[in-house]
Structure formats: structure tokens, C-alpha cells
Amino acid sequence: MKGEIGRLALRHEGIMWNAYYALPNSMKDAILLGSIAIRFVKSRDRKDAFLALMREAVSDLIEEETGTRPTWPEPGGHPAPEHERADHQE
């Protein structure tokens, strides 16, 4: 995407839902931001709350580096590239 310097990448890994800050087209050197057990984010409200917190974390990182707070695509962002998707997405 034009102007994209990084992204929030969410991965269902085992029993956890992990959030990473990653470069636009790669998970190489991605930074783990936070994790939560999948069982705690079964409801849409809780899933949205975790997503919002992780978006704020990425926004903070980008703002610290660039001086500009990013905007987010709504409602759920962009799907992960096919080669990065887990076999068992929820």
C-alpha cells in the first residue's frame, strides 16, 4: 500500500492469538507486541478490544518514529497475504 511503513499482523498460533508489528510485505524481524489465549477472545467484543489495543501500540511505534499517527482501514483492516495465513484462521 502507498505510504505503508509497517503493519499490524495478527496470528493464531497454537492456543494464542499473537500480534506483531511487521514490515509491509514480510514477517521477517517482526516484533511481538502482545498475546492472548484464544479462549479469552471468542466473543466479538473481546476480540475487538484486543485488536484496538494492538492498533494503538503500532500507532505509538509509528508516531514515535515519524511524528505522524497512522490511520487504520476499517472495519477490520486488510487480510494477511496468502503466504502468511495460518491453516486454521478463525
List, as one string, the DSSP characters of 18-84.
EEEEE-TT--TTPEEEEEEEGGGG-SHHHHHHHHHHHHHHHHHHHHHHHS------SSS--PPPGGG
Domain extent, residue 47, equals: 7-84
In this structure, is residue 21 part of a structural domain?
Answer: yes
Q: What is this structure's pTM?
A: 0.76
In this structure, is residue 89 part of a structural domain?
Answer: no
In this structure, is residue 1 part of a structural domain?
Answer: no
Q: Residues 63-83: pLDDT tens digits?
A: 998 899 988 876 666 666 665
In this structure, is residue 90 part of a structural domain?
Answer: no
pLDDT of residue 41: 95
Domains: count for the chain: 1
| Mean pLDDT for the chain overall | 84
Residue 2 has pLDDT above 80, yes or no: no
- Compute CA distances 23 → 7, 14, 41, 88, whole Å: 6, 23, 25, 23
In this structure, is residue 25 part of a structural domain?
Answer: yes
In this structure, is residue 67 part of a structural domain?
Answer: yes
